[in-house]
């Protein structure tokens, strides 16, 4: 389950060594362009290709995923994993083991960024240091790379890279590096806006999965 939750960040989170970067003004036009790409009042369907590489163990996996999101709410489907967030509760489901874990992320804790990745895009000045690396080849195309580093250093990640179209300022790919030597690469192959998404989209429905055990991790 950590595997799929890490892929979220879409939606998107990092930690780094203290003092390595400040808030680079040269990066801000690109970060603002990515922020402007997503309207919190609009529904989105995002298709992505992903790769998970364990550098230390020399293993890797790849596949495809789908994200539905509107505002802070989202649903992500990757292989046998489905994660829902309805703005309050987080549902982490494994369809093979037929289990779903229910928790309530605390907005005051660093883990909230991992649970609600859109906050990284919309609140980058509040939560991150960042640095413009510049235009460089990525997946066969020239893209602008921006690296972000969370101000809170208690989480498991070492670096987040955003790869942005230099002309449209659209977010096209994300790389996320874990302190334990795991690297996630997410290519956003398609982003469709103006999606009509009902609130029930972002909630686990026990009627749809009648054999699934619900495990509540609530205080």
pTM for this one? 0.81
Whether 152 and 170 have beta carbons less than 8 Å apart is answered as no
Task: Classify residue 59 by burial, with Cβ atoms within 10 Å: 0-12, 13-18, 19+.
Answer: exposed
Express each pLDDT in 111-167 by its tens digit: 666 667 787 788 788 778 999 999 999 988 999 999 988 777 776 666 789 999 999
Residue 65 belongs to a domain with what CATH number? 2.50.20.10
pLDDT tens string 12-27: 443 233 334 589 999 9
Range of the domain at 169: 2-216
**Hey, is 92 helix, strand or coil?**
strand
| Average pLDDT score over residue span 42-56 | 91
The pLDDT tens digits of the residues spanning 152-193 come to 777 666 678 999 999 999 999 998 887 777 888 999 999 999
Tokens, residue 1: 């389950």
Query: Number of structural domains, the chain?
Result: 1
The average confidence (pLDDT) of the chain is 84
């Amino acid at each position: 389950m950590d595997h799929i939750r890490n892929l979220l960040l879409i939606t998107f989170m990092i930690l780094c060594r203290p003092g390595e970067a400040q808030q680079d003004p040269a990066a801000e036009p690109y970060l603002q362009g990515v922020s402007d790409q997503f309207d919190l009042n609009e529904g989105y369907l995002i298709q992505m290709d992903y790769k998970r590489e364990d550098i230390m163990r020399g293993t890797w996996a790849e596949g495809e995923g789908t994200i539905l999101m509107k505002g802070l709410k989202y649903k992500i489907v990757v292989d046998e994993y489905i994660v829902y967030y309805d703005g309050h509760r987080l549902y982490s489901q494994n369809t093979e083991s037929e289990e779903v874990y229910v928790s309530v992320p605390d907005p005051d804790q660093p883990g909230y960024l991992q649970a609600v990745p859109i906050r990284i895009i919309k609140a980058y000045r509040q939560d991150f240091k960042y640095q413009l690396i510049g235009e460089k080849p990525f997946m066969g195309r020239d893209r602008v790379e921006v690296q972000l580093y969370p101000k809170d250093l208690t989480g498991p990640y070492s670096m987040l890279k955003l790869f942005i179209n230099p002309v449209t300022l659209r977010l096209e790919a994300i790389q996320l590096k874990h302190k334990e030597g795991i690297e996630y690469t997410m290519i956003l192959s398609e982003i469709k806006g103006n999606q009509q998404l009902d609130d029930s989209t972002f909630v686990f429905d026990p009627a749809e999965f009648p054999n699934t055990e619900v495990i509540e991790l609530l205080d």
